[in-house]
A = this chain, B = another copy of it.
Amino acid sequence: MQDTKKIDPRTVKRREAIIATARELFCEHGLAGTTLEMITAEAGGSRRTIYELFGNKDGVFEAVIRDCTGRITSVMSDLEMSDLPLRAALIHYGETLMTLLTMPDTIRYMRLFLAEVPRFPKLGKVFYESGLMTGRRYIASYFERQMAEGNFPKGNPWQAAVFFSSLIKADYDIRQMSYIDWEPQEKDLRSHVIAAVDMFLRGHGLDPEKMTS
């Protein structure tokens, strides 16, 4: 049951253009505040094409959310495993995670998606599990390895990942979603991450002072 038809390259291109434009407009004006005409005006094309490709307005929204989810997922994949010593690795993770979470786009996507959760419950699952949880899975598997190698006290790697990312993100996410056009200072983020990592280490019986950093 594979696609017997070839896909017209025009269709792919139009589709991408519409999603990209709609994403920006939705983020700025919300779903209800964006008309299909605003989308075509900026992306080119005509409403006709939108209905052809997405069925209706909600179809565009779904496609946009899936696109945003993919973007967040791929951006979370930047949390590559590191072979630095534990404390340095955690600081590196923390700073990367913080950078990703405080990116204006991440915040905008989250606002957009959270707003419409009640009317698109399935998208909530997709966004949370495929998008936001990606980073946590990386971190949990890191702790799992560190526990196996004896660098970190044995325990529940998933809980460690939860506490670690909670300490790192603190309430920067909610605060940024609450304030328009506010971004934390980079040096505040750095000192926050270091404080969080050290507290995390002490919380697991490790002494940050004694760790090669």
Residues on B with beta carbons closer than 8 Å to the beta carbon of A170: 162-163, 166
In the docked arrangement, what's the CA distance between A162 and B33, Å?
A: 35
Q: Is the CB of B163 within 8 A of A127?
A: no
CB-CB contacts below 8 Å: A94-150 with B:
111, 114-119, 121, 124-125, 127-128, 132
Q: How far is the CB of A135 from chain B (nearest CB, A)?
A: 11
Q: What is the interface size of chain A, counting residues whose CB is below 8 A from a CB of the partner?
A: 44
Residues on B with beta carbons closer than 8 Å to the beta carbon of A32: 30-33
Query: Known: A33-B32, A170-B162, A202-B202. Contact between A180 and B128, CB under 8 A?
Result: no
Residues on B with beta carbons closer than 8 Å to the beta carbon of A117: 111, 177-180
Question: Interface-forming stretch among A5-13, A16-24, A41-49, A192-200?
Answer: A192-200
Residues on B with beta carbons closer than 8 Å to the beta carbon of A121: 179-180
A21-41 Cβ-contact flags toward B at 8 Å (1 or 0)? 000000111111100000000
Residues on B with beta carbons closer than 8 Å to the beta carbon of A189: none
In the docked arrangement, what's the CA distance between A147 and B196, Å?
A: 20
Choose among A27, A117, A203 the residue with the greatest number of B CB atoms under 10 Å from its CB: A203
Chain B residue at smallest Cβ distance from A126: B178
- Known contacts A32-B32, A202-B202, A202-B203; 15 further A-B pairs (Cβ under 8 A): A28-B118, A30-B119, A31-B32, A33-B119, A115-B115, A117-B178, A117-B179, A125-B178, A128-B175, A162-B170, A163-B196, A173-B174, A199-B203, A199-B204, A202-B204
